[in-house]
Amino acid sequence: MQDKDMMNDTLSMLKASLTGYSTTISETDNQQLRQEIQQMRNSCETSQYDFYNVAKQKGFYKPAAQASQQQIQTVKSQVSGS
């Protein structure tokens, strides 16, 4: 398996884990358990960002072009219903 494939698989796995953590946090009533899962999510987010940066440095990942200020304002307006 190529490095690029392994990085992409790892990033996909981390993304799925983050989704699972978010769902679990939103459905957890026990405050202590909720805090533990939040810490796990935070650690996973850090790992995901670290892997993303390595993939980007190696040229395995090209981020989308930056949005203009106008595009940002348009999306904000659409999301907020203004």
pLDDT (tens digit per residue) in 19-77:
999 999 999 999 999 999 999 999 999 999 999 999 999 999 887 889 999 999 999 99
Q: Specify the pLDDT at position 52.
A: 93
- For the residues 2-14, what does the mean pLDDT come to? 92
DSSP output for 17-75 = HHHHHHHHHHT---HHHHHHHHHHHHHHHHHHHHHHHHHHHTTS--PPPPPPHHHHHHH
How many structural domains is the chain composed of?
A: 1
Q: Specify the pLDDT at position 9.
A: 94
